[in-house]
Amino acid sequence: MNPQARIQELAQRLHHLNTQYYQHDVSEVPDQEFDQLLAELNALEKAHPEFAQPNSPTQRVGGTVTKQFAQATHRYPMLSLGNTYSEDDLREFDERVQKGLEGAPYGYVCEQKFDGVAMSLAYENGDLHQGVTRGDGTRGDVVTANVRTIRTLPLHLHGPDAPSEVEVRGEVFMPNSVFDDLNQEREQNGEALLANPRNAASGALKLQDSAAVAARRLRFYAYSVLTPGRHFGSHSESLEAAAAWGLPVSPTWRRCANLEEVLAYIHEWEQKRFTLPVNTDGIVIKVDNLRQQDQLGLTAKSPRWAIAYKYPTAAARTRLREIIYNVGRTGAVTPVALLDPVPLAGTTVKRASVHNANQIAMLDLRLGDMVFVEKGGEIIPKITGVDLAERPTEAVPVRFPTECPACATPLVRPEGEAHFRCPNERGCPPQLKARLEHYVSRKALNIDGLGAETVGRFFDLGLVKTPADLYDLAQRRPDLEGLERLGTKSIDNLLAGIEKSKTVAFERVLFGLGIRYVGEGGAQRLAQHYRTLAVIMAAPTAELAAVPDVGGITADSVALWSQQPENQEEVRRLAEAGVALEASGEPPLAVSDRLAGLTFVLSGVFENYSREQLQTLITSNGGKITGSISKKLSYLVAGDNMGPAKREKAVGFKVPIISENELLALLPVAE
């Protein structure tokens, strides 16, 4: 079979498998077979780029780097809806509809108001052509490469009845479970937590690297279909057609014959909505008949045929009994409020976040207070206020501890940070245990038979204290055999899992070491750039900071970690155990020594290459990258939006400032 035909065949097969898996929960082939088909397609597309399709299944994993997002004008303005919190307002809305339709019969469609990012998708001849954010309602950012990574979104519409031109509107969102995972990772890395899934989804869509967007596992629900001319008689028909074409449409929508059925739907979902995988904050009510929508028309800001009913923020009032303090992997001490159990947003709340010492002081919290707790757009309930009228006379002010609640070490508060931290990295039990749990976790070394509960038990028993201790357990089998609830087969599986972890890729080992601020992406970038842990540990801070998307804070953290004797000894033991501390495969080949003896700083956003690609071009031709500007610097390579301070410093040191094209001209062959 010729390459073009095979590429087309593979693309069609993979599109079908994706639809079955993500739309119908049907896995027709094993994951390994799917991966093999995708790998074959990817290889063929690289060998024959002239036959690659814009909407190829390979685009699901991203890889496109967008320097800046172009803007596009919406063919149909994306108007906002009028909001109400009152059933009386809904009755008035219904009366206006009735009057505007002059007594003709009409019905409504009710849909969940998903808390995500509004998106307009243009399909041409069945293919996804363009994705544009809402923007100001008239113009938005073109984020096509990013929306192509949304696996529930078809890159090609199914069915012969799909119009040649169709605009699909809907909501891009981050599922709550994905948001929880993301925040847990950020907490482990000592990064600020994201407020809610909507903000996380919005931030993901603005990322320049579509591969990073793919890692955020965004999803999409369609709620509107627009076509030139009249293609449907009703909104409900368009939703049914969209689902038939393969678009993800939430099954929660319902056609209602009258306002009473609308109100019944609203009441039904007031608590039921909390069972959904995405946050909702209300119900959208639309007149179903599209000709009647045209008849009712629009105001300057919103349609007269639709309105959004917003549920009040989920809130409760309960008694604050105690504040406990959790110590995380990075030593951050987080206060958690223990409350009298209270129903809230479909669950019984017994705990609430108080964030940090600043929040405690701002609220003037006292034990015994009646406090107001809200969920709103937040996943974790938080205390938002105190009912001072109910404050007991004996209420005791909450005082943030000055010592670690786990090891009694005096707490420190690094400049510019909101959290107090325990600096006892080597002796604080919760920190040590959390680092072990992180090392064996799924995204790190993923050691079979050694979950958080088991490794925590081993820690409590004194069997392990650091990751290197795990590799000594094979010699301590008699100690394991003496433990309750740990049979021979479990021990075999556990030790086999530990042995297998020695083959885990270097970037995951680097992530598993738990260096503060080094997340999955940072570990991958450092591993790709330096290829061995020894080289990373020896690298100067400025050089580390120059690695694309690493930055100064991470570089400082890596350098500090590398200098500590305890970490150096840990690395020695891991190497002795056979853990992969260097990247596999061949490093990038040296092209020339044309840039030997020259050092470069890259700053700004470049037109033709990413910073990482330019860095590879420099190093493969003998040059070096640094992060700081000094008299010894050979060149500052300036892209768009370069910081003025760097330019000023380079001018002061009389360092030549060159463009991307001027850098390429220094190479033996311009790439």
- Statement to judge: residues 236 and 195 lie in one domain: yes
> What stretches in the chain show pLDDT beneath 70?
19-27, 30-32, 35, 60-68, 187-193, 195, 300, 345-346, 376-379, 548-549, 585-590, 612, 627, 641, 643, 669-671
The amino acid that residue 109 corresponds to is V
| Catalytic center residues | 113
CA atoms in the 13 A half-sphere facing the CB of 494: 21
594 inside domain: no
CA atoms in the 13 A half-sphere facing the CB of 226: 13
Residue among 525, 575, 577 at smallest CA distance from 555: 525
* The last residue of a domain, from among 43, 59, 75: 59
The strand pair at 219-226 and 165-173 is best described as antiparallel
Please, which residues have CB within 8 angstroms of residue 308's CB and are 6 or more apart in sequence? 81, 82, 83, 84, 113, 282, 283, 284, 285
Between CA 670 and CA 617 the distance in angstroms is 10
Between CA 235 and CA 241 the distance in angstroms is 10
- Statement to judge: residues 302 and 325 lie in one domain: no
CATH label of the domain that carries residue 542: 1.10.150.20
69 inside domain: no
Per-residue pLDDT at 268? 94
671 inside domain: no
* The last residue of a domain, from among 452, 481, 503: 503
DSSP per position, 325-337:
EEE-TT-BEEEEE
Q: Are 100 and 296 in contact (CB under 8 A)?
A: yes
414 inside domain: no
413 inside domain: no
The strand pair at 71-73 and 366-367 is best described as unpaired
Total of domains in the chain: 6
Whole-Å CA distances, 163 to 72, 125, 189, 225:
22, 7, 48, 11
Between CA 442 and CA 159 the distance in angstroms is 39
- Statement to judge: residues 306 and 183 lie in one domain: yes
- Statement to judge: residues 496 and 628 lie in one domain: no
Neighbours of 103 (CB within 10 A): 7
Give, rounded to a whole angstrom, the gap between the first and last alpha carbons of the chain.
33
Q: State if pTM tops 0.75.
A: no
Per-residue pLDDT at 417? 80
Q: Round the CA-based radius of gyration of the chain to a whole number and report it.
A: 29
The amino acid that residue 234 corresponds to is S
653 inside domain: yes
The amino acid that residue 92 corresponds to is E
- Statement to judge: residues 267 and 351 lie in one domain: no
406 inside domain: no
The sheet that has 83-84: what strands, in order across it? 83-84, 306-310, 280-287, 108-114, 254-256
Please, which residues have CB within 8 angstroms of residue 333's CB and are 6 or more apart in sequence? 325, 326, 327, 401, 404, 405, 411, 419, 420, 421, 422
- Statement to judge: residues 301 and 332 lie in one domain: no
Domain containing residue 634: 599-666
Between CA 590 and CA 2 the distance in angstroms is 35
DSSP tag of 513: T
- Statement to judge: residues 463 and 523 lie in one domain: no
- Statement to judge: residues 204 and 320 lie in one domain: no
CATH label of the domain that carries residue 391: 2.40.50.140
Between CA 494 and CA 5 the distance in angstroms is 47
- Statement to judge: residues 522 and 635 lie in one domain: no
582 inside domain: no
CATH label of the domain that carries residue 10: 1.10.287.610
Per-residue pLDDT at 22? 55
Residue among 226, 72, 204 at smallest CA distance from 141: 72
- Statement to judge: residues 236 and 279 lie in one domain: yes
* The last residue of a domain, from among 450, 474, 503: 503
Please, which residues have CB within 8 angstroms of residue 485's CB and are 6 or more apart in sequence? none
- Statement to judge: residues 271 and 360 lie in one domain: no
CATH label of the domain that carries residue 605: 3.40.50.10190
Between CA 509 and CA 522 the distance in angstroms is 12
- Statement to judge: residues 21 and 88 lie in one domain: no
The two tokens of residue 140 are 């938005």
